[in-house]
């Protein structure tokens, strides 16, 4: 009983101690919040409302009142960079780095932010120097990503491979697709300079890195063709179907030219027509259409385009059908067909574009590397109208 009585007497004491501790914490919190400049909260409010200009003005006032506040300098520098005022961002982060009392962790942060300023300003040499100095710090992953961007901008593909491999090995995500593309870039350069023997081992490395690399397969066929091995090139290009059927359109003309060169044009047409049944494409139709006209005549070409238009009704297909109709149209209706064809063709020029699936950048030609967002393999091998019909 005595034991239970003491516990009952202790409960109010513990309650009182807890109440006193809570009051102390609350007073401390209120005291700290009052010590923060009013412009700090104004700046945060402007940031939340996406009013970056006003947020910058507010934070500048805070920095004037408290020049030692590193966090305010970081916020201010990042706002300057976001607005494109890279010179002011650079000055802010340089001033931070120049402070002798800045803790080691914040020195790394300031160096990274300064490197990003240089990168945004296009001062790639300075940015590269800073990011290389951060490789052995807690900012190693961010530094490697930035270095990878720099090497891609400068088209330094061997160094880009090294940076991507470093990122992958550090556990920062898979990079096989990009690494394979970098090897393809080197191989393409070798082919352009008429050095197919240098290109082949690079493409082998690309396919070892990414067995599904359509570009590496296409370029391997190009190398074999440059060596005079047409049959080997045809065999290689046909492998694209196993990797990605829609990408067959990218090698259709190569295949048709190759089969024609070895005297088996009809075999080439039959192959491409079988691809059409699997994945209809206006680019593929274009190649088959021309080949059918040469081998089987205009009537066969009209039947081909009509069948494809019924299966996949698009203005691009209609444009091709009108072209076929005009080839043997009577003189009495030829001018009318020509007028309709010109109207349809003019409109289809806006639709006959490839579109990046990441940023939406449209282009007349197919890209492996998007000029808009710099992402790799984000262009579907189909025109925008075809994608809309499929969706």
Two structure tokens written together for 266: 């009809």
Query: Which residues have a Cβ under 8 Å from the Cβ of 82 and sit 6 or more positions away?
Result: 52
Percent of the residues in the chain that have a pLDDT greater than 90, as a whole number: 43
pLDDT of residue 280: 78
pLDDT of residue 54: 55
User: Following CA atoms 223, 227, 230, 234 in sequence, which dihedral angle do they give, to the nearest 10 degrees?
Assistant: -20
Annotated binding residue 370? yes
Residues in the chain, pLDDT under 70? 1-70, 72-73, 346-348, 351, 385-391
Annotated binding residue 356? yes
Rounded CA gap, 80 and 89, in Å? 5
Three-state DSSP string of 325-365: HHHCCCHHHHHHHHHHHHHHHHHHHHHCCEECCCCCCEECC
- pTM for this entry: 0.77
3-state secondary structure of 369: strand
At residue 198, what are phi and psi to the nearest 5 degrees?
Answer: -80, -30
**Span 68-172: which CATH code?**
1.25.40.10
Two structure tokens written together for 165: 């491999």
pLDDT of residue 67: 43
* Alpha helical stretches, state H, 154-262: 157-169, 176-192, 196-209, 214-226, 230-238, 240-243, 252-261
Indicate the DSSP class of residue 78.
Answer: H
pLDDT in tens, 150-199: 999 999 999 999 999 988 888 777 899 999 999 999 999 999 999 999 99
- Burial of residue 81, with CB atoms counted within 10 A of its CB: 0-12 exposed, 13-18 middle, 19 or more buried: buried
pLDDT of residue 153: 93
Domain ranges of the chain: 68-172
Distance of CA 214 to the CA centre of its chain: 17
Question: What is the biggest distance separating any 2 CA atoms in the chain, rounded to whole angstroms?
Answer: 119
User: Following CA atoms 149, 155, 156, 157 in sequence, which dihedral angle do they give, to the nearest 10 degrees?
Assistant: 90
Whose tokens are 């001033």? That residue is 95
3-state secondary structure of 376: strand
Two structure tokens written together for 389: 């019909």
pLDDT in tens, 348-373: 677 678 899 999 999 989 999 999 99
- Cα dist from 30 to 26, 40, 74, 253, whole Å: 6, 15, 25, 74
pLDDT of residue 3: 44
pLDDT in tens, 322-352: 777 777 777 777 777 777 777 777 666 776 7
């Amino acid at each position: 009983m005595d034991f239970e009585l003491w516990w009952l007497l202790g409960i109010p004491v513990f309650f009182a101690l807890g109440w006193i501790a809570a009051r102390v914490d609350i007073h401390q919190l209120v005291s700290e919040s009052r010590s923060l400049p009013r412009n700090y909260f104004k700046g945060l409010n402007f940031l939340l409302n996406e009013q970056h200009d006003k947020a910058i003005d507010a934070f500048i006032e805070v920095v004037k009142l408290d020049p030692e506040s590193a966090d305010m300098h970081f916020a201010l520098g990042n706002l300057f960079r976001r607005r494109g005022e890279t010179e002011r961002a650079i000055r802010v982060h340089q001033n931070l780095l120049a402070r002798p009392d800045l803790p080691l962790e914040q020195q790394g942060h300031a160096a990274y932010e300064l490197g990003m300023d240089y990168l945004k300003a296009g001062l790639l040499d300075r940015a590269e120097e800073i990011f290389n100095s951060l490789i052995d710090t807690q900012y190693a992953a961010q530094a490697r990503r930035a270095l990878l961007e720099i090497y891609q901008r400068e088209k330094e593909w061997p160094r880009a491979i090294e940076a991507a491999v470093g990122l992958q090995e550090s556990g920062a995500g898979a990079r096989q697709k990009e690494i394979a593309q970098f090897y393809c870039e080197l191989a393409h350069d070798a082919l352009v300079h008429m050095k197919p023997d240098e290109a082949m081992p690079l493409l082998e490395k690309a396919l070892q890195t990414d067995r599904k690399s359509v570009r590496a397969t296409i370029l391997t066929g190009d190398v074999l063709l440059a060596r005079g091995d047409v049959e080997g090139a045809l065999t290689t290009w046909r492998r694209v179907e196993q990797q990605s059927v829609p990408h067959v359109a990218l090698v259709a003309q190569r295949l048709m030219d190759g089969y024609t060169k070895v005297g088996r044009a009809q075999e080439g047409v039959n192959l491409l027509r079988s691809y059409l049944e699997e994945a209809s494409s206006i680019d593929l139709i274009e190649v088959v259409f021309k080949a059918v006209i040469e081998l089987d005549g205009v009537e066969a070409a009209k039947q081909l385009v009509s069948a494809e238009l019924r299966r996949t009704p698009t203005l691009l297909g209609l444009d091709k059908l009108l072209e076929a109709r005009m080839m043997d149209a009577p003189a009495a209706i030829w001018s009318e067909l020509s007028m309709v064809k010109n109207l349809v063709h003019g409109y289809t020029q806006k639709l006959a574009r490839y579109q990046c699936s990441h940023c939406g950048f449209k282009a007349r030609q197919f890209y492996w590397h998007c000029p808009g967002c710099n992402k790799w393999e984000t262009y579907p091998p189909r025109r925008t109208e075809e994608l809309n019909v499929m969706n």
